[in-house]
Chain A
């Protein structure tokens, strides 16, 4: 024990004397952990926000009855009569935007946070109030009841929302719901314990008023049920008693399909965060390796003084693990800060793609933080294992030999080459793994990253000597010197170059995937966006399935003289397999509107005819996800039970990754009832100018409807905006990983300078001007960036191929043609080289200030 403490003490004193390497390790660990933790926290917050929102107001309900497209309200009395139903309450709910809180005609907050509208029957809600195990607090007080029932605009607000929005009883809310402007009067404010924490943004309104407000007249979203005995037998009996199309489920399972899709999205991001950790681990390996090489003499002396191999290995490993802990703790703190910044973007992306979420990042729990710290220490230990092993193999001696020190690293090159081969084999194996799941693609990506990371130092060892010879032959002065410096410090430069190479390859892979995607989407837009104007609910992302283009607005549009035809679209979210899908009902009134589908299989014109006649066509993601094709049968649940469609065609689509099916409007209404028109494409008469028509519609609708009116060009721009928005998060994470890797290069170059201070001083003593030294540094950094670029180009191409043809296809179902975007790829490489050159500024500034005599004096 004493010996271990003594050895650790010696290493610690050396670490304090030269803290650069330790700081490099710390920053590598901290940065990798920070990115990972930020994604973890922001992703968890998004998911829990969604789950708590969909489960709000479950209260004491044990079950609920639902149907695709909602329940007919006339079903409610019959449900009360079913076996084991002790209590039941009908519920209508939806999200609305609050444009302003008005007091005495004056706005006190505009806009206010969105509200969730909860329409309930006040005479039936009683048994369901209060969180289980807590007391019941009334939502609507007896003295407010009459007004609540008789005033269709009366609303009772939750305390937290009211406080945040500055609203109080007596105020008026101007809201946008189902595509229209409406006003609500604040009758009272209820305390949170009435409905539970999850209902913090749920405004309670009479159910009839909610149906009107949300354009759901005659329909219920669900019926909450309290069973007399909550056991599986009762549940089965009740379930069997329900007619086809109605479904009994536990409230906590509501939204789980969407949550599953959010989970898949989070996993994709976490994988990206994992790659940031890989970059961090490479930098730790790099720093640990350099530390062992640099302290070779010290380690040899310790061995000469009788320190055993296991003790030395343990001490070096303990040092790396300790750095991992400290770096992990720093990463946790940084990650928590970063998570808050990330959360907003993540919420926007998830809202675009899946469901409305608002994210408040909760601090990481202690057990989770400990888990991250242990994980970080584990990664650090793995990264430090081989360097520690090398430390243990140090022969006992009193003087360190420089050539031996680097020889130590060079001896590892065959080992690295072996690992590169092993990783490569693992990658090829994962690619050929017989499954349609996307995770083997991810494993393959990690394996090929490992291949590149191991290969680069070996490649540098092979390529640097001929490069030096070339420089000598060409009579260049700086090149042989720079090559020599890098070659001599391969233990350090190799790892840093690998880290940058991997980060660049990831960037190139993602850029290529996104650009391939983008060019495909642009081509798709040209075919799919054919109408002149497009009209949809402004709050589409907020309201989701409750978004509407009001019927009155449709009638006005149809009556406009400029309008030739309206292509209306009805849309419903359906449970399908273990996830959800969308089902569209369309009318395709013009020949042009029928051209907007680009069929990948099936005969286009006849498929369209058949679809309008009641069969279905499906989007590529749906077909790929569930292995559907032309001639197959698609079975989904309608309001009155299962219905089947014959699939007549598969078309290309990039609008919904979960996929959708399309049928004719008539069959849609038969199966799902009137779910409301979600958006409408307007075909104008020949000669009518699009922008002018759009202005005319906006003016006509102003103040009455809250609808987006976009011209063809505007919608195209909007789609590309959403596209870029979706990938902004990916770019952000990539940028962070690359910045950290460039930081690693800077630290390495800085370390190289410190290590060679005497050599630089010698050059200057021999008459080298500071500008010559600057050119030497520039050449070194150029090489330090060029080798990673050489790795990044092929590795990035491989990663892009995996992203496009494996992960993207299997995860989202989109088939994309691989397009190599030279310009942004070369731009990224040029940026890395430029950043590398900038990284020489600090060492160069130090060289300028360096005392030649002082540096020569130092041993």
Chain B
């Protein structure tokens, strides 16, 4: 089954014949066995499938954190598989925001500095980056916890900080890997709602690997990955 849109102008994300495996034969594991995928700008996409099916790998490839064994991954008109290390870093800084399952906040930095960090890395001045970070923290209702360290925040709060961090450079794409996986149901629901709200109001494209039915229900499109292949692709009106 092809998930590409053959006629349209090039979408924001285009994957063609993407294959990725780990290890060497005979113990080689195939994570992606030939994936074709087009994602237009502004879409919210849930990627579902059992553990080990290749969901995270697909996100990592789109985020230029890994290189496929075969195939092409184009994001915003660029083949990200051909980027040199520093170019890939710049690409991630400018185009991508990441939200991880276990938040991955820098434990020694305050919430504000965690959020400001990607902006600082992108070359913005400290004051400008912090101002932007503060606005985003207020947006995720954590303005009062700006000076708190991650270990003083609940899991849900940490993930909200991570969402703010993902958006600080106004990326075109947010890649979220099991964003509610480490949260209880209520917190997970709140975080998910917030994430979808923000990406929609900003027109940001969201790709979200998830096991959560709620997440799937809120996404405009759902693809199912099994054994490294997309076996289902469903769209619904937002």
Chain A positions within 8 Å of B, measured between CB atoms, are 402-403, 468, 472, 475, 477, 480-481, 483-485, 487-488, 758-759, 762-772, 848, 851-853, 856-857, 859
Flag if A484 contacts B106 (CB, 8 Å): yes
Residue of A nearest to B120 (CB): A477
With A and B bound together, what is the CA distance between A472 and B63 in angstroms?
29
Flag if A480 contacts B113 (CB, 8 Å): yes
> Which residues of chain B are near A485, meaning CB under 8 Å?
108
> Which residues of chain B are near A764, meaning CB under 8 Å?
65, 89, 92
Given contacts A852-B66, A853-B66, contact A766 B92 (CB under 8 A): yes
Query: 8 other contacts beyond A853-B56, A853-B66, with CB at 8 A cut-off?
Result: A468-B108, A475-B127, A764-B92, A767-B90, A769-B89, A853-B57, A856-B65, A856-B177
Q: What 0/1 readout, one digit per residue, does chain B (81-122) give for beta carbons within 8 Å of chain A?
A: 000011001111110101010101011110001000110111
Flag if A766 contacts B121 (CB, 8 Å): yes
With A and B bound together, what is the CA distance between A472 and B100 in angstroms?
26
Given contacts A759-B104, A766-B98, contact A484 B109 (CB under 8 A): yes
CB distance from B148 to the nearest CB of A (A): 13
**Taking the complex as formed, is B200 at the interface, i.e. its CB lies under 8 A from any CB of chain A?**
no
**Taking the complex as formed, is B138 at the interface, i.e. its CB lies under 8 A from any CB of chain A?**
no
Flag if A488 contacts B108 (CB, 8 Å): yes
28 contacts between A and B (CB under 8 A): A403-B151, A475-B127, A477-B121, A481-B106, A484-B108, A487-B108, A763-B106, A763-B121, A764-B89, A765-B92, A765-B104, A766-B92, A766-B93, A767-B93, A767-B122, A768-B93, A768-B121, A769-B86, A769-B90, A770-B85, A770-B89, A771-B86, A772-B89, A848-B85, A852-B66, A853-B56, A853-B65, A857-B56
Flag if A484 contacts B63 (CB, 8 Å): no
Flag if B100 contacts A762 (CB, 8 Å): yes
> Which residues of chain B are near A765, meaning CB under 8 Å?
63, 65, 92, 98, 104
**Taking the complex as formed, is B125 at the interface, i.e. its CB lies under 8 A from any CB of chain A?**
yes
Residue of B nearest to A758 (CB): B104
With A and B bound together, what is the CA distance between A264 and B149 in angstroms?
57
Q: What 0/1 readout, one digit per residue, does chain B (124-148) give for beta carbons within 8 Å of chain A?
A: 0111000000000000000000000
**Taking the complex as formed, is B19 at the interface, i.e. its CB lies under 8 A from any CB of chain A?**
no
Residue of A nearest to B22 (CB): A854
With A and B bound together, what is the CA distance between A852 and B125 in angstroms?
27
**Taking the complex as formed, is B60 at the interface, i.e. its CB lies under 8 A from any CB of chain A?**
yes
Flag if A766 contacts B165 (CB, 8 Å): yes
Size class of the contact patch on chain B? 35 or more
Flag if B118 contacts A766 (CB, 8 Å): yes
Flag if B89 contacts A768 (CB, 8 Å): yes
With A and B bound together, what is the CA distance between A856 and B86 in angstroms?
19
Residue of B nearest to A766 (CB): B118
CB distance from B1 to the nearest CB of A (A): 26
Flag if A851 contacts B66 (CB, 8 Å): yes
> Which residues of chain B are near A472, meaning CB under 8 Å?
113, 126
> Which residues of chain B are near A857, meaning CB under 8 Å?
56
Given contacts A402-B151, A475-B125, A767-B90, contact A852 B108 (CB under 8 A): no
Residue of B nearest to A484 (CB): B108
Flag if B56 contacts A772 (CB, 8 Å): no
Given contacts A766-B165, A853-B56, contact A480 B89 (CB under 8 A): no
Given contacts A475-B125, A475-B126, contact A762 B106 (CB under 8 A): yes
With A and B bound together, what is the CA distance between A766 and B122 in angstroms?
10
With A and B bound together, what is the CA distance between A200 and B86 in angstroms?
71
Flag if B60 contacts A852 (CB, 8 Å): yes
Flag if B107 contacts A484 (CB, 8 Å): yes
> Which residues of chain A are near B86, meaning CB under 8 Å?
769-771
> Which residues of chain A are near B108, meaning CB under 8 Å?
468, 480-481, 483-485, 487-488
> Which residues of chain A are near B151, meaning CB under 8 Å?
402-403
Residue of A nearest to B166 (CB): A766
| Residue of B92, B93, B151 with most partner-chain A CB within 10 A | B92
Residue of B nearest to A770 (CB): B85
CB distance from B166 to the nearest CB of A (A): 9
Residue among A403, A488, A767 making CB contact with B121, cutoff 8 Å: A767
CB distance from B178 to the nearest CB of A (A): 11
CB distance from B9 to the nearest CB of A (A): 27
Residue of B nearest to A848 (CB): B85
Flag if A856 contacts B100 (CB, 8 Å): yes
CB-CB contacts below 8 Å: B54-89 with A: 56-57, 60, 63, 65-66, 85-86, 89
> Which residues of chain B are near A483, meaning CB under 8 Å?
108
With A and B bound together, what is the CA distance between A758 and B106 in angstroms?
10
Flag if B102 contacts A859 (CB, 8 Å): yes
With A and B bound together, what is the CA distance between A19 and B126 in angstroms?
41
With A and B bound together, what is the CA distance between A470 and B109 in angstroms?
14
Residue of A nearest to B94 (CB): A767
> Which residues of chain B are near A763, meaning CB under 8 Å?
106, 117, 121
CB distance from B114 to the nearest CB of A (A): 10
> Which residues of chain B are near A484, meaning CB under 8 Å?
106-109
With A and B bound together, what is the CA distance between A764 and B121 in angstroms?
10
Flag if A762 contacts B85 (CB, 8 Å): no
Instruction: Please give me the 5 A-B residue pairs with the lowest Cβ-Cβ distance, nearest first.
Output: A484-B108, A767-B93, A475-B126, A853-B60, A769-B89
> Which residues of chain A are near B93, meaning CB under 8 Å?
766-768
Residue among B89, B100, B106 making CB contact with A767, cutoff 8 Å: B89
With A and B bound together, what is the CA distance between A477 and B122 in angstroms?
11
With A and B bound together, what is the CA distance between A856 and B100 in angstroms?
9
> Which residues of chain A are near B102, meaning CB under 8 Å?
859
CB distance from B7 to the nearest CB of A (A): 33
Residue among A767, A771, A851 making CB contact with B118, cutoff 8 Å: A767
> Which residues of chain A are near B125, meaning CB under 8 Å?
475
> Which residues of chain A are near B89, meaning CB under 8 Å?
764, 767-770, 772
Q: What 0/1 readout, one digit per residue, does chain B (197-230) give for beta carbons within 8 Å of chain A?
A: 0000000000000000000000000000000000
With A and B bound together, what is the CA distance between A772 and B65 in angstroms?
16
Residue of B nearest to A489 (CB): B108
| Residue of B63, B65, B125 with most partner-chain A CB within 10 A | B65
CB distance from A366 to the nearest CB of B (A): 49
CB distance from A775 to the nearest CB of B (A): 11
CB distance from A403 to the nearest CB of B (A): 5
Flag if A856 contacts B121 (CB, 8 Å): no
> Which residues of chain A are near B94, meaning CB under 8 Å?
767
> Which residues of chain A are near B127, meaning CB under 8 Å?
475
With A and B bound together, what is the CA distance between A484 and B149 in angstroms?
11
> Which residues of chain A are near B106, meaning CB under 8 Å?
481, 484, 759, 762-763
Residue of A nearest to B95 (CB): A767
| Residue of A402, A848, A852 with most partner-chain B CB within 10 A | A852
CB distance from B171 to the nearest CB of A (A): 10
> Which residues of chain A are near B169, meaning CB under 8 Å?
767
CB distance from B6 to the nearest CB of A (A): 30
CB distance from B54 to the nearest CB of A (A): 12
| Residue of B106, B108, B120 with most partner-chain A CB within 10 A | B108
Given contacts A475-B126, A766-B92, A766-B165, contact A481 B109 (CB under 8 A): yes
CB distance from A475 to the nearest CB of B (A): 4
With A and B bound together, what is the CA distance between A402 and B91 in angstroms?
32
| Residue of A475, A484, A848, A853 with most partner-chain B CB within 10 A | A853
With A and B bound together, what is the CA distance between A279 and B62 in angstroms?
49
With A and B bound together, what is the CA distance between A41 and B202 in angstroms?
75
CB distance from B30 to the nearest CB of A (A): 16
CB distance from B99 to the nearest CB of A (A): 11
Residue among B60, B66, B121 making CB contact with A772, cutoff 8 Å: B121
> Which residues of chain B are near A853, meaning CB under 8 Å?
56-57, 60, 65-66
> Which residues of chain A are near B118, meaning CB under 8 Å?
766-767
Residue of A nearest to B100 (CB): A856
With A and B bound together, what is the CA distance between A488 and B108 in angstroms?
7
> Which residues of chain A are near B120, meaning CB under 8 Å?
477
With A and B bound together, what is the CA distance between A762 and B60 in angstroms?
12
CB distance from B184 to the nearest CB of A (A): 16
With A and B bound together, what is the CA distance between A857 and B65 in angstroms?
12
Flag if A762 contacts B104 (CB, 8 Å): yes
> Which residues of chain B are near A768, meaning CB under 8 Å?
89, 93, 121
> Which residues of chain B are near A487, meaning CB under 8 Å?
108
